[in-house]
């Protein structure tokens, strides 16, 4: 009788500690997983901002190619430059790929995320008229 009472009394704290530790472990794992998921979603939101910045850089570069026939060889149409887009930015490169093809690559950056858009333009060597061949997101 005496021993039973002693055992019952001692069992309460370890039991609660055991259950609590299990509960803490489960919740910690859950929170960590949820946090990872949230980071992923946050990353997607930031990626949308980077994509918009990359688009802005591409749009700006196309207009420069139209205005400067021999782009990228003139001060108004440099082969590479940076563009502030609100609180984000885009790094743009313009390359004469030969054969009347101009390639624009614009990399938008938001926080740590980057998105890259590549534009292929056909440019007449005689008239400078520009036609869009492709405008797409490419891997970094």
Partner 1 sequence: MKRRGGASFSGQSLVELIIGIGIAAIVAGSVVGALVLSVRTNKYSIESKAASSLGQEILDQTKSLSEGDWVGLYSVSDKSASSTYHIDSTSTLVIATGTEEVLRDGITYTRWISIENVNRSATSGAITLTGGSEDPSTQKVTTYIEWAFFGDTTRVSLTQYLTRWSRNTATVFTDWSGSSGQDGPITRPDSNYFTSSGDINLSTTIQTGSSGYLISSTFDTGYPDGMKINAILWQGALGVGGTNSVKFQIASSNSSGGPWTFIGSDGTSNTFYVPSGPGTSYPIPVGQHNNKRYFRYKVQLDKDGASTSPVVEDIIINWSP
Our measurement of the distance from residue 82's CA atom to the centroid of its chain's CA atoms, rounded to an integer in Å, reads 17
Q: Decide if residue 112 touches partner 1 (CB under 8 A).
A: no
Q: Decide if residue 101 touches partner 1 (CB under 8 A).
A: no
Sign of CA dihedral 59, 62, 67, 73: positive
Q: Decide if residue 16 touches partner 1 (CB under 8 A).
A: yes
CB 106 within 8 A of CB 55: yes
Q: What separation in angstroms does the CA of 121 have from each of 15, 17, 83, 138?
A: 72, 68, 20, 16
Site for partner 1 in 47-76 (CB under 8 A): 48-49, 51-53, 55-56, 59-60, 62-64, 66-70, 75-76
Give the one residue of 29, 79, 80, 81 binding partner 1; rule: CB under 8 A.
Answer: 81
CB 134 within 8 A of CB 121: no
Give the H/E segment covering residue 131.
Answer: strand 130-138
Q: Which residues does 95 contact at the CB level (< 8 Å), separation at least 6?
A: 72, 79, 102, 103, 104, 105
Give the one residue of 29, 30, 80, 101 binding partner 1; rule: CB under 8 A.
Answer: 30
Give the one residue of 98, 112, 126, 136 binding partner 1; rule: CB under 8 A.
Answer: 126
In whole angstroms, the minimum distance from the beta carbon of 77 to partner 1 comes to 7
Task: Please report, as ranges, the residues that interact with partner 1 according to CB under 8 A.
Answer: 2, 5-6, 8-10, 12-13, 15-17, 19-20, 23-24, 27-28, 30-31, 34-35, 37-38, 41-42, 44-45, 48-49, 51-53, 55-56, 59-60, 62-64, 66-70, 75-77, 81, 83-88, 124, 126-132
């Amino acid at each position: 009788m005496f021993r039973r009472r002693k055992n019952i009394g001692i069992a309460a704290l370890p039991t609660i500690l055991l259950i609590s530790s299990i509960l803490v472990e489960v919740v910690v794992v859950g929170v960590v997983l949820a946090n990872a998921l949230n980071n992923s979603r946050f990353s997607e939101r930031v990626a949308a901002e980077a994509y918009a910045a990359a688009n802005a850089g591409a749009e700006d570069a196309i207009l420069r190619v139209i205005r400067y026939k021999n782009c990228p060889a003139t001060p108004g149409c440099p082969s590479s430059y940076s563009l502030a887009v609100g609180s984000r930015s885009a790094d743009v490169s313009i390359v004469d790929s030969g054969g009347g093809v101009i390639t624009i690559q614009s990399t938008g950056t938001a926080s740590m995320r980057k998105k890259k858009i590549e534009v292929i333009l056909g440019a007449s060597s005689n008239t400078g008229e520009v036609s869009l061949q492709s405008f797409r997101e490419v891997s970094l």
